[in-house]
Amino acid sequence: MQYYRFFPGDYVRDTRRLSLAQHGAYRLLIDEYMMNGRLANDLPGLYRICGAFSPDEQEAVRYVLTEFFVLDGPVWTHKRCEQELDWQEEKSEKARKSVAFREQKRAHNIPNDTSNDDRTMIERYIAGSSNQNQNQNHKPENLKTEVRVEGRGANNAPPTASPARATRGSRLPNDWELPSAWADFARQERPHWTPEQLRRVADTFRDHWVSASGSRGVKADWSATWRNWVRKEGGGSPAYSRAPPLTGRAARMDSYAAQAAAARANMGQGDGLDDDERIIDGRAVRIA
């Protein structure tokens, strides 16, 4: 035995009254018991095991034997050591059965990920197969036996995924071009779009999704994505006829013009423009 369980709390509770020499003798005797079994009723031999050479050390060995061990014929027995040995044997037996069970599953082509709920059924099948092979009246070559684990298909294959689960998204190809059916939908949805505007929308659609990173660029239905893209382009006027938002100095000039128009309206001048003003793309811009 390479190791055994040791419980310090139980040991301290039972050995508080022992001297240092008695503690040493007791632990050495326990080690001998756990490694080699019950102790022979051979005091000189036990003295050597404990390294007890002086009279005091030998007295410590005799005290521990009579206090914690029971003489049973030719051997000394120990209740707690027997319990731990039984536990070790039970654990080893379970490990041996587990290894044998895995080997039997492999030999009978049974999946390794079989759940514990199927263990009894499989063990019965294996036992039945062994009995069949031992029976000379049966011809194994004419027998075809199949074990099916619940939730699995033929040959114990995992169940195939449902169509809904099997559906996976994809990315838009780098060389994507607008299909004719998609273009027809866009013309019906946005009849005011010119061919050039439709081409620019399609190019923007492709560039946007091709450059999208990670899961953002993965869609399960690209046709539906295109339809939503077209619908979001606006209703009254083409998306690409809208002027881009103003920034910087242009934005400030636009704000000044709006304020001037509001001031003129308040002064009763209406919201007309001076002679040196004109409209460019729907904005009032003063010409110097």
pLDDT of residue 242: 45
- Indicate the pLDDT class of residue 234, thresholds 50, 70 and 90: low
Kindly indicate the confidence band of residue 237, based on its pLDDT and cuts at 50, 70 and 90. very low
Report the DSSP beta bridge partners of residue 280: 283
The arithmetic mean of pLDDT across residues 109-122, rounded, is 61
Of residues 59 and 89, the one with the higher pLDDT is 59
What lies within 8 Å, CB to CB, of 284 at 6+ separation is 254, 257, 258, 260, 261, 273, 277
pLDDT for the residue 254: 64
Phi (first) and psi of residue 275, to 5 degrees:
-65, -25
Element (H, E) at 282: none
Q: Is the pLDDT of residue 163 over 90?
A: no
Burial class (CB in 10 A: 0-12, 13-18, 19+), 94: exposed
Tokens encoding 16: 């508080």
Q: Which of 73, 156, 66, 175 is nearest to 115 (CA)?
A: 156
Tokens of 104: 């039997």
Ramachandran quadrant class, 257 (left: phi over 0; alpha: psi -120 to 50; beta: rest): alpha
pLDDT-derived band at 78 (thresholds 50, 70, 90) equals: very high
Q: What is the pLDDT of residue 240?
A: 43
Residue 238: predicted pLDDT: 42
Query: What pLDDT, on a 0 to 100 scale, did the predictor assign at position 88?
Result: 84
Better-scored residue on pLDDT, 105 or 197? 197
Asked if residue 285 has pLDDT above 50, the reply is yes
Quick one: which H or E segment has residue 75? strand 75-77
Mean pLDDT of the chain: 77
Other beta carbons within 10 angstroms of residue 26's beta carbon come to: 23
Range with lowest mean pLDDT among 54-68, 90-104, 105-119: 105-119
